[in-house]
Structure 1
Amino acid sequence: MTSSENNGSVMKHHGITDEEQPKRPVRLGLALVIGPACWLGPYIGVAATLLPAKIGQLAPDNKIALVALFSAIAMIVATIANIIAGALSDMTRTKHGKRTPWIVVNSILSAVLLVFLSMAPNIGTLIFVWAMYQAVLNAVVAPMIAQLSDRVAPKWRGTISSFYGVGMAFGNYGSGIIASQFLENVSAGIQTLAAFALIGGLISAFLASEPSNLDEQRVKFNAVTLKQNFMFPTKNCRDYYLALFGKILMVTGQFVIVGYQLYIFTDYMKLNNGQTASSVSLMSLILMITGIVFCALAGPISDRIHRLRAPVAITTIMLGIGAFFPFIDARPWTMMAYAVIAGIGMGAYNAVDQALNVAVLPNSKNAAKDLGIINMANTLGQVFGPLIAASVISVWGYRAIFPVETVICVVGGILIMMIKKVR
């Protein structure tokens, strides 16, 4: 652990100041690369590619409606789990800190549940295991991202948020490369991703080396505690909700396409299995490379220019612009063009998004809970996107989903530009 990280280790419950952390907390940054890569990667690889493939095997005639149903179930479970796990993490006191126990235990459980998912013999079992997986996955996510508020000084948040964003890019897009190799053996693909979830979660917790927080004041359960730790914030929260709803719209727009990317290639572009696998793999590679490069650039630039709001808003709108290409032509090159623009936008977005979220927190004492609520935007967007796409496809066909994404993302960018507290 570096000297700066030792400074971070003696943080108070309200976080640490720039003076207390003169150097970048690089080891924590590495933990926040590996962590999100290894919870998001298995989730996206399964949700976007392998789960639709397995649904297609078990119930081919109802696959579009079932993908939307699975998304809705994911939303309900993950929304509740995110808030509860974040709040309980804020209240946890152990010699390993308040985030590590949650990350370790639930990384193990998420891997186990993915293995069960791979062996599910019917749709009913698949739904049940998928719901359980959502619960434990979000008990990893909320405590992990709260480390940005707990242990990173304001002057480094853009850079360390960029580390987190690079991990998100690896997970988001690297998972597509891995998952596309297993379209002929879906169960093996899910089990492979389960191994990533297990190993990555444990390594991330080890690298973060969170200090004991046994000296923090224990929280008593009463009406005030319940309101403070489990309810949505109600004071000093205008910008917080603008960030929340802007993020919901950005993720919704993204998942209008991502949630149905497998079927876009097979049903809209009429590709066979081999062509689909290579197209998904190439698209994922483009998204990953552009995402990582622009994520690595955007965080330090944001710290240098002291701007968070405009980069988040502009990159949200970029996703909508990229969606015009597959609207113009139902051929694979248009999805690759979308991937280039979306990858640049998502990379820069992921670099500064979490720093923006921390900056608009109403009360840093409830960081995990309030960041968990904002992270709900990921869950809600990943549900709303496929639900909107399924509705649009059923009425107007696949081509209509692309301008719908454009409108959603532009509105999201406008909401973020309305934030006042952050430049």
Structure 2
Amino acid sequence: MNSSPEVGNGADSWSGTENDTSQKKAPWIVGVALVLGTFLWMGPYMGVNVVLLPAKAAVIDPDSKAAIVAVLSTSAMIVAAIANIIFGALSDLTRSRWGRRTPWIVCGSVLAAASLVLVSMAPNTMMLIISWCVYQCFLNAIVAPLIAVLADRTAPKFRGTITSMYALGYSVGIYGGQMIGARFLGNISTGYYVLAALTLLAGPLAAVLMREQSSLGMPRKSFTWRTFIDHFSFPTKGAKDYYLALFGKFLIVAAKFSISGFMLYILTDYMKQNQSGAAYYVSLISLCMMVTAIVMTVIAGPISDKIKSRKIPVIVSSLLVAIGSAIPFFWNDPRMMIVYALIAGTGMGAYNSVDQALNIEVLPNKDTAAKDLGILNLSNTGGQVFGPVLAASLITWVGYHALFPLAAVCSLIGAVLIVFIKKVR
């Protein structure tokens, strides 16, 4: 099967995956669907999580804003952990004329967009936490199935290249979302509505482009205890490399978000910028990281395919994140955050470009790809939460300057874990 469902295997023989023999050309249309679909969920998420959510927390309770962000992060991690496994497993088991992934990413987009509106309307801390958790639940109905499209529709020889396309949407979403969010610091509610509208487009647009093949011809599974264990639990057989990848990714992502999760407060409370100065630097930092990430996304994935190695680009990128993160520790100057953005942004761009290709190649079982990739994505979600939670503690005990060595150490340990993966070159 090529990128469109009419070519290649028929519905009766579709096995839910591709190999180097069956796929003669790179599935470019699937890649485009991943670029747009990923940007449209990641951009709004980052615009809210990094900019508008801390800003709203500061409005609701300015004296406890750091603690509120930590609680929001912790509760989001718990909800995302459960939702990733459930929606990933359900999409693996789904049999419909629209395929396995499409129904979930479309419904997830609609409900996540509605949830963002609820977040914007939250009048107090409790309602903010509840509505944010609801949003996290439905957001992961998009995330887990959409990542699984990489495993479903891409042969191993093209995974570096198509993962680069996924990473392009991911990177533009991360940094572009923060830039969009920063534009609405003076009008937070409008920012939420704009980002909710973008979220609403994510699933439908990706579904129309990728035109997923019907899964009705795939074997159905009776819901037995064995099925439940296989599809709704963490893998145990032949999964050593899988867990090395999971915890390596967890620490590398935590390194990035221990800084980016408090970017607004670093600039205002530590580097003493006013609101307009902070908005200027958030936008500039996001632009630098976006540009470097896009450049490395275009380069790193195809190089990974060319040299037939996933580990080397991931390890090098982790070292760059560590170096970039350490620099602002030595100079309390917002311009050093630009240097951080250029170096760490280069590292994260290369990392994101190859990371999902590495993840697919350490999967223990292709039949539970969405669930297992969803669990691996917990390292992404968990890192985004663990980094800010640990950072919040260090801010209280030591001060903002402690965030930078924390990020460097996390990234270095993550790189070491990737080194020990055996299955992947």
Assess same fold via TM > 0.5: yes
In structure 2, relative to structure 1, the CA distance for the partners of 1:9 and 1:140 (3 Å cut) is: farther
Question: In structure 2, what is the equivalent of residue 404 of structure 1?
Answer: 406
Are the equivalent residues in 1 in contact too, given 2:325–2:408 (CA < 8 A)?
yes
Question: In structure 1, what is the equivalent of residue 382 of structure 2?
Answer: 380
In structure 2, relative to structure 1, the CA distance for the partners of 1:355 and 1:3 (3 Å cut) is: closer
Instruction: Write out aligned runs for 1:13-412 (5 A).
Output: 13=15, 15-412=17-414
Distance in 2 (CA, whole Å) between partners of 1:208 and 1:268 is: 46
Residues 243-285 of structure 1, C-alpha deviations (whole Å, 9 max, x = no match): 0000000111111101100100000100000000000000001
Letter paired with 1:7:
G
In structure 2, relative to structure 1, the CA distance for the partners of 1:374 and 1:186 (3 Å cut) is: same
Distance in 2 (CA, whole Å) between partners of 1:36 and 1:144 is: 8
Question: In structure 2, what is the equivalent of residue 7 of structure 1?
Answer: 8
Are the equivalent residues in 1 in contact too, given 2:99–2:212 (CA < 8 A)?
yes
Find the residue that maps to 1:23 and give its secondary structure. coil
Distance in 2 (CA, whole Å) between partners of 1:37 and 1:357 is: 20
Letter paired with 2:321:
L
Shift of 1:125: 1.2
Residues 307-362 of structure 1, C-alpha deviations (whole Å, 9 max, x = no match): 10111122122111101221111111110000001111111111110000000000
In structure 2, relative to structure 1, the CA distance for the partners of 1:231 and 1:104 (3 Å cut) is: same
Distance in 1 (CA, whole Å) between partners of 2:375 and 2:314 is: 18
Distance in 1 (CA, whole Å) between partners of 2:201 and 2:131 is: 21
Distance in 2 (CA, whole Å) between partners of 1:48 and 1:339 is: 15
What TM-score comes out, normalization by structure 1 length? Answer: 0.98
- Range with greater deviation from structure 2 (325-334 or 3-12): 3-12
Distance in 2 (CA, whole Å) between partners of 1:320 and 1:186 is: 33
Gaps of 5+ in 1: none
- Range with greater deviation from structure 2 (236-245 or 4-13): 4-13
Residues 105-160 of structure 1, C-alpha deviations (whole Å, 9 max, x = no match): 11011111111111111111111110000000011100000011111111000000
Distance in 2 (CA, whole Å) between partners of 1:85 and 1:271 is: 42
Shift of 1:3: 6.7
In structure 2, relative to structure 1, the CA distance for the partners of 1:37 and 1:305 (3 Å cut) is: same
Distance in 2 (CA, whole Å) between partners of 1:149 and 1:305 is: 20
Distance in 2 (CA, whole Å) between partners of 1:360 and 1:347 is: 21
Are the equivalent residues in 2 in contact too, given 1:9–1:151 (CA < 8 A)?
no
Letter paired with 2:225:
A
Letter paired with 1:128:
I
Distance in 2 (CA, whole Å) between partners of 1:303 and 1:373 is: 25
Letter paired with 2:284:
L
Distance in 2 (CA, whole Å) between partners of 1:113 and 1:15 is: 33
Identity of aligned residues (%): 52
Residues 190-214 of structure 1, C-alpha deviations (whole Å, 9 max, x = no match): 1111111111321111111101010
Are the equivalent residues in 1 in contact too, given 2:185–2:279 (CA < 8 A)?
yes
In structure 2, relative to structure 1, the CA distance for the partners of 1:239 and 1:62 (3 Å cut) is: same
* Count of aligned residue pairs for this structure pair: 423
Distance in 1 (CA, whole Å) between partners of 2:4 and 2:133 is: 40
In structure 2, relative to structure 1, the CA distance for the partners of 1:337 and 1:304 (3 Å cut) is: same
Are the equivalent residues in 1 in contact too, given 2:52–2:191 (CA < 8 A)?
yes
Are the equivalent residues in 2 in contact too, given 1:83–1:373 (CA < 8 A)?
yes
Are the equivalent residues in 1 in contact too, given 2:91–2:101 (CA < 8 A)?
yes
Distance in 1 (CA, whole Å) between partners of 2:396 and 2:14 is: 53
Shift of 1:8: 6.9
Distance in 1 (CA, whole Å) between partners of 2:162 and 2:374 is: 18
Distance in 2 (CA, whole Å) between partners of 1:202 and 1:221 is: 29
Distance in 1 (CA, whole Å) between partners of 2:150 and 2:3 is: 17
Are the equivalent residues in 2 in contact too, given 1:4–1:24 (CA < 8 A)?
no
Shift of 1:184: 0.8
Shift of 1:166: 0.3
Letter paired with 2:51:
T
What TM-score comes out, normalization by structure 2 length? Answer: 0.97
Letter paired with 2:17:
G
Shift of 1:13: 2.8
Letter paired with 2:418:
I
- Range with greater deviation from structure 2 (33-42 or 70-79): 33-42
